Amino acid sequence: MALCLAISLVARRDFVLYDQLVRYKWWYRNGYMSSTGTCFDIGESTRRSIHMFESRQKDFAKKNNISLEEIDFLSDNNLLEEFKVNCSAQGNAGNGALMRLASVPLFFNRFPEIAVEYSGRSGFITHGDTKVFDACRYCGALIIAVMNNTKKDILLSKKFYDSTIKQWLNKKQLHPEIDNIANGSFQKKKGYDDGIRGKGYIVNALEAALWAFWSTDSFEKGVLAAVNLGDDTDTTAAIYGQLAGAYYGYSKLRPDWIDAIYAKEFIQCLCEWIAYEGDQWRPNT
């Protein structure tokens, strides 16, 4: 799903939630951008949201006299604005929305308030809970700060949260559980023994990923710390990897880990396109 989101940004040269949902549907139905050629390990919230999206597409196509063969390729802005893209039931607070996030703050990082808002929206279309919206906003803000060369001790401090990140939140306060994380709830030296858990619940997942980032001094050590928490290990590590990857940089990744990545040349090319198109993008005035 992370690749689906990244490709949507590049292909549309903009933030188009409808197109993001289309590509998630392609992944689910056809294995689009899957390393195995099929969809695997899809969360129930995401599955239900895609089903809702497909149902709305059929109704929308009938209402607007659009063929089902063409409905995935909407480009008319009026139609895109009319379509209801928030396809999740209320209260779905799984971690799946957060693990695909990184390309949004990377693409829009030169406009922090917009990037933070888009980060939240990108998750909410499949996971309709305020905690999801705000977890994505906060994590997006951290990635933006990293892109501006903010050091870790400053990045994770209450002072930076109060002075900078809250400005990027555009006066929209975080949900209390996410605000608690932003104020340092993850800074527990004993980690697992202090209650850090890499669960499927987005609050636990974000806290665990930030603990792994805060408590280690290299990408490798952090990802191993995230995985060794147990439970939903791959997602905890994926959330960690987005922030830590931006912080430590590509050159700090282990070469043997890079060599093991499927389609790594394609992913490298996509990253370059994200940087290029993001640099060209301007807000509509």
Cβ atoms within 10 Å of 217's Cβ, excluding its own: 9
**Does the global pTM surpass 0.85?**
yes
Query: HSE (CB half, 13 Å, CA atoms) of 41?
Result: 13
Does residue 285 fall inside a structural domain? no
pLDDT tens per residue, range 246-261: 999 999 999 999 999 9
**Residue 94 to residue 39: CA distance in whole angstroms:** 18
Q: Residue 273: which CATH number?
A: 1.10.4080.10
- Supply φ then ψ for residue 90, to 5 degrees: -65, 145
Q: How many domains does the chain have?
A: 1
User: 24, 4 in Cβ contact below 8 A?
Assistant: yes
Query: Is residue 124 scored above 80 in pLDDT?
Result: yes
- Do 66 and 72 meet the contact criterion of CB atoms below 8 Å apart? no
Tell me how far apart the alpha carbons of residues 184 and 171 are, in angstroms, rounded to a whole number.
Answer: 20
DSSP 174: P
Can you tell me which residue has the tokens 């999206």?
53
In a domain, residue 112? The reply is: yes
The band of 171, judged by pLDDT with boundaries at 50, 70 and 90, is confident
Neighbours of 104 (CB within 10 A): 32
Is the pLDDT at 285 greater than 80? The verdict is no
The domain in which residue 246 lies consists of 2-280
Indicate whether 129 belongs to any domain: yes
Residue 230 lies in a domain: yes
